[in-house]
């Protein structure tokens, strides 16, 4: 039996906690990979010289993920009072269809608002940093480079450029999500949808687990299709990019599979300790 659900709101506490947990584990994995690479390429002395990056990467990721997930979850909860919620159809524990337009629209608006927020925050410290950089360049006699930096900053903070960037953020996110969800809805007829285990509570429904393999396969195929389309566009522009296009196709599939599998696997493991992601479904 197919059940239609709408995500009326997100539990900000569980969203922020589980999002922070996943990002923290990923940052630790990245740090371990970097440590190994530094040891192989430069030895213990190189690692000692760069050891300060470890807490910077990990704690920086924690702070960023808190702001990212809480902020976007808050925006979603506010916007769903005025706009259509993200809806989906679930059958036998599999998400067989996701609303295309409503999903793309609300995520695009969130992305645009987040860009505006980042820009406003940048107004507080970028001018100070730019002033310090320009003074340093002029004191060292690099007047040409200082002029380039000044013009670049002036361009980036131009109202016309800012408006273009906001519109571009909205359109790119909208089109990207729209295509991705549309492909997902087609694939579910052949591969099945995301296999999820939901548990209904008094106010919220918790995501108990997600099947990592099914999610990874579907996302890998979606990235593959998008990679093929982008590569064809690249080849139309210049046929000399054939190797680059082939690399994009292969890396899109492999990266989509591995990335999705790791994220879902981490969620299934740490959610037992940090708590499940909770949604208000209707």
Instruction: Report pLDDT for 17.
Output: 93
Instruction: Report pLDDT for 257.
Output: 92
- Residue 15, pLDDT above cutoff 60: yes
Number of neighbouring beta carbons within 10 Å of residue 136:
11
The residue count for the chain: 282
> How far from 262 is each of 4, 99, 117, 156, 178, CA to CA, in Å?
29, 26, 30, 36, 24
Q: Which of 68-82, 109-123, 133-147 has the highest mean pLDDT?
A: 68-82
pLDDT digit string, tens, across residues 234-267: 777 666 666 777 787 888 889 889 999 999 999 9
Average pLDDT, the chain: 83
- Compute and round to an integer the Cα radius of gyration of the chain: 22
Instruction: Report pLDDT for 133.
Output: 57
Phi and psi for 194 in degrees, rounded to 5?
Answer: -55, 130
DSSP 221-236: HHHHHHHHHHHHHHHH
Q: Which of 57-71, 228-242, 262-276 has the lowest mean pLDDT?
A: 228-242
pLDDT digit string, tens, across residues 215-237: 999 999 888 888 888 777 777 76
| Residues above pLDDT 70, as percent of the chain | 81
Q: Which residue has the higher pLDDT, 120 or 204?
A: 204
Instruction: Report pLDDT for 121.
Output: 72
Specify the pTM. 0.82
pLDDT digit string, tens, across residues 126-179: 665 656 655 565 656 566 665 665 566 666 666 777 788 888 889 998 998 999
pLDDT digit string, tens, across residues 94-114: 888 999 999 999 999 999 998
Q: Maximum CA pair distance of the chain?
A: 73
d(CA 100, CA 227): 20
124: tokens are 């507080």
- Tabulate helix, strand, coil % of the chain (nearest 5): 75, 15, 10
Q: Which residue has the higher pLDDT, 237 or 74?
A: 74
Phi and psi for 201 in degrees, rounded to 5?
Answer: -115, -165
Instruction: Report pLDDT for 123.
Output: 65
| Residues above pLDDT 90, as percent of the chain | 29
DSSP type of residue 85: P
Instruction: Report pLDDT for 137.
Output: 54
* Domain residue limits, the chain: 6-82, 95-192, 194-282
Q: Which residue has the higher pLDDT, 7 or 231?
A: 7
Q: Which residues of 49-64 are buried (b: 16+ CB within 10 A; e: fewer)?
A: eeeeebeeeeeebeee
């Amino acid at each position: 039996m197919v059940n239609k659900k709408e995500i009326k709101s997100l539990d900000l506490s569980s969203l922020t906690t589980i999002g922070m947990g996943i990002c923290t584990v990923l940052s630790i994995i990245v740090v371990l990979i970097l440590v190994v690479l530094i040891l192989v390429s430069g030895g213990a002395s190189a690692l000692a010289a760069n050891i300060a990056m470890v807490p910077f990467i990990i704690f920086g990721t924690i702070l960023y993920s808190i702001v990212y997930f809480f902020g976007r979850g808050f925006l979603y909860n506010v916007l769903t009072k005025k706009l259509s919620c993200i809806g989906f159809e679930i059958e036998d524990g599999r998400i067989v269809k996701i609303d295309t337009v409503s999903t793309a629209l609300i995520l695009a608006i969130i992305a645009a608002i987040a860009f505006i927020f980042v820009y406003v925050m940048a107004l507080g410290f970028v001018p100070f940093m730019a002033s310090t950089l320009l003074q340093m360049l002029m004191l060292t006699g690099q007047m040409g480079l200082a002029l380039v930096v000044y013009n670049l900053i002036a361009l980036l903070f131009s109202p016309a450029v800012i408006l273009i960037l906001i519109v571009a953020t909205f359109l790119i996110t909208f089109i990207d999500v729209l295509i991705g969800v549309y492909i997902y809805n087609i694939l579910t007829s052949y591969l099945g949808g995301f296999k999820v285990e939901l548990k209904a509570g008094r106010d919220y429904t918790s995501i108990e687990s997600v099947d990592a393999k099914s999610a990874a396969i579907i996302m890998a195929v979606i990235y593959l299709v998008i990679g093929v389309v982008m590569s064809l566009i690249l080849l139309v522009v210049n046929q000399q990019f054939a190797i680059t296009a082939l690399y994009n196709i292969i890396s899109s599939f492999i990266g989509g599979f591995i990335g999705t599998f790791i994220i879902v696997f981490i969620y299934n493991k740490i959610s037992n300790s940090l708590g499940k992601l909770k949604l208000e479904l209707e």
